[in-house]
A = this chain, B = another copy of it.
């Protein structure tokens, strides 16, 4: 009954003789792949799932945003344990609104770090640089056994900071715009090259949801994006790897039939209900890349002054059209497994078509050329959980989460 598994944050991971590649496809609502397969755009995935692959749906973390989910995937645990509860938060201690992209906010170690400590080679590549520092937390880059960089800053890598240099030369692609499909393609092109050259035990490839924010499942643009990925996965598959595909969150149209966004401006409401300066609305979707979504998502949190009765505000919120959940911070953190010191006094989730904003004038939607598509709520919680390997012994009674991707791949892929 003894074993040599690696323990990370209380969970056990087997070593793998084949490289394990986990792909986090940012914003990959399950219909993107089912529709691309139906149209013949993903021949490798279709064949793989029909023959011997694993085809499941998992629950992401809510808030269904990029940072909390990527960090859950690489630590194997919910935000209550790793502390990254949004892309952005209000720091009560310092009275500042800050990006949650720094390792000072991390409260749990990564699977990569534990595997590197056990002499495994590990690789993490992310499209956007905002995740790089978190993914590379505690890795020792000078030992030659860890690589971590972003496509966004692929021209600036060093052995000391990233465990790799001359990435552009290796990949043979220029640095792509942060608002492009090529930024994600760069991740896969680099992954394939590194898999050929280094054959690491663990590889993590994380894309950006630029395409998904703009184009619905089944559109030509979306299908082309998934076709591109399918071709790279086929190459990784030929190298005898375990590939597990999941997403940080789904993506839905957040507008009415005319294409106008449906937005509840929370700061305006609180100012109206309780006067100014008594509530601070935080939108944890906020990140430096707001052209995607104008900082509009389906999850918000509100900090209240002592003058405001939280229960009164919750009752008012619950009566509003488009609001599906309004919970006390205590209840919401318990329900969604978040950390209270990273969230406010109220947690709000909006419905399928509705997003949450602060005040009309603070959201610049002029950059949105197409009707708003976004995420953040429970309506974007269902994500794909696919693998090129069968996992018949994956416990059938287990509530599957996207952050089980490494766990399932290492312990149950056959």
Contacts and interface: CB of A to CB of B under 8 A. Distances in A.
Interface of A: 1-3, 5, 7, 10-12, 77, 80-81, 83, 90, 92-93, 95, 107, 280, 303-305, 309-311, 314, 327-331, 333-335, 339-342, 344, 393, 395-399, 407
Given A10-B341, A83-B10, A340-B11, A397 B280 contact: no
Contacts of A83: 10
Contact of A107 (B10, B314, B329, B398): B10
B2 A92 contact: yes
A20 to B, nearest CB: 17
A95 B395 CA distance: 24
B398 A90 contact: no
Contacts of A1: 90, 92, 95, 280, 303-305, 344
A331 B2 CA distance: 21
Contacts of A309: 393
A280 B3 CA distance: 14
Given A3-B92, A12-B92, A311-B396, 10 more contacts: A1-B90, A1-B92, A7-B93, A10-B83, A10-B107, A12-B340, A80-B81, A311-B393, A330-B395, A331-B398
Contacts of A310: 393, 395
Nearest to A328: B395
A228 B376 CA distance: 53
Query: Shortest 5 CB-CB distances between A and B: which pairs?
Result: A10-B339, A328-B395, A1-B303, A331-B397, A331-B398
Given A1-B280, A2-B95, A397 B7 contact: no
Contacts of A90: 1
A342 B407 CA distance: 16
Choose among A7, A107, A344, A398 the residue with the greatest number of B CB atoms under 10 Å from its CB: A398
Contacts of A304: 1
Contact of A92 (B5, B333, B397, B407): B5
B398 A7 contact: no
A331 B399 contact: yes
Contacts of A342: 10
A5 B330 CA distance: 14
A339 B108 CA distance: 14
A406 B92 CA distance: 21
25 contacts: A1-B303, A1-B305, A1-B344, A2-B92, A2-B93, A2-B95, A3-B92, A5-B92, A7-B93, A10-B83, A10-B340, A10-B341, A10-B342, A11-B340, A11-B341, A12-B92, A12-B340, A309-B393, A310-B393, A310-B395, A311-B395, A327-B397, A328-B395, A330-B395, A334-B398
